[in-house]
Chains A and B, each alone.
Chain A
Amino acid sequence: MEELIHSGIARYEYRHFIIFGSASQFAAMATECAGDQGAWWEFHDAYLLDAQARSFTRAGAIDLARDNGLDVARFTQCIDNEEHRDRILEMQRHARSVGISGTPTFRINGQPAARSLSGIIEQVRAAAEAVENQEGS
């Protein structure tokens, strides 16, 4: 899938869909607060891959902010005030409205995606071809 993004065929968007409770919601909010300072993907990757970050604690998030060179005071204020809570709840509400009920779930150009990675790749290529044909006609 990375190849499709690097080649300019597809863009990829990650949307929070909280199913595991408050720790997940905190991590989503911390990621959005990091996004305010241009570090959305650093936090995304850390929360998925870094064992320490996956404690999903306030202290861990602040350490992560510091490690990534963010304005820690601003970041801390953002998480403590839950500044992105409504944004995440709105993502959740919208996801449910389009039929999302579990994770991970993929959609391609607004349509439900195949269940397998190979199916998704095939679907992306077909969608790109359809767009190109539409533009060419």
Chain B
Amino acid sequence: MRLTLVLATLLAAIGLLFSACGSGGEPADEDVSTGTVRSERADREASIMQQEQGADQPAEAGADSGVIAFGHREGLPFARNVVGDPDAPVLIVEYSDFQ
């Protein structure tokens, strides 16, 4: 009886181990065909953003992002003070004063 209990516990533990390994190795949104390109682009964008923003400013997200619904930028996605396709290869930064 005790041996059966030990075996059952052992099998359950092995099952949990396999389950954990499986979910960790397969990201849900991984695209094998373009994974490298996406990774390079993400690295490049992160580098550019870090250079422009300074390392101590986290990326903005949440209530301050969406799609512009007025004027000549209508339909463009925005995230606070950035407008345009987040996947665009070029980032134009303007430093300016409102006056």
| Chain A residues engaging chain B, CB cutoff 8 angstroms | 1-2, 4-6, 8-20, 23-24, 27-28, 31, 35-38, 40-42, 44-45, 47-48, 54, 56, 87, 90, 93-95, 97-98, 100, 103-110, 113, 120, 124, 127-128, 131-132, 134-135
Give chain B residues whose Cβ lies under 8 Å from the Cβ of A41: 68, 73, 78, 83
Give chain A residues whose Cβ lies under 8 Å from the Cβ of B30: none
* Contact in complex: B90, A15 (CB < 8 Å): no
* Contact in complex: B94, A38 (CB < 8 Å): no
* Contact in complex: A14, B64 (CB < 8 Å): no
A135 to chain B, nearest CB (A): 5
A-B pair count, CB < 8 Å, reads 164
Give the contacting residue for B63; candidates A17, A36, A48; CB below 8 A.
Answer: A36
Give the contacting residue for A10; candidates B53, B56, B63, B92; CB below 8 A.
Answer: B92
Give Cα A5 to B73, complex, Å.
9
Give the contacting residue for B95; candidates A8, A104, A110, A135; CB below 8 A.
Answer: A104
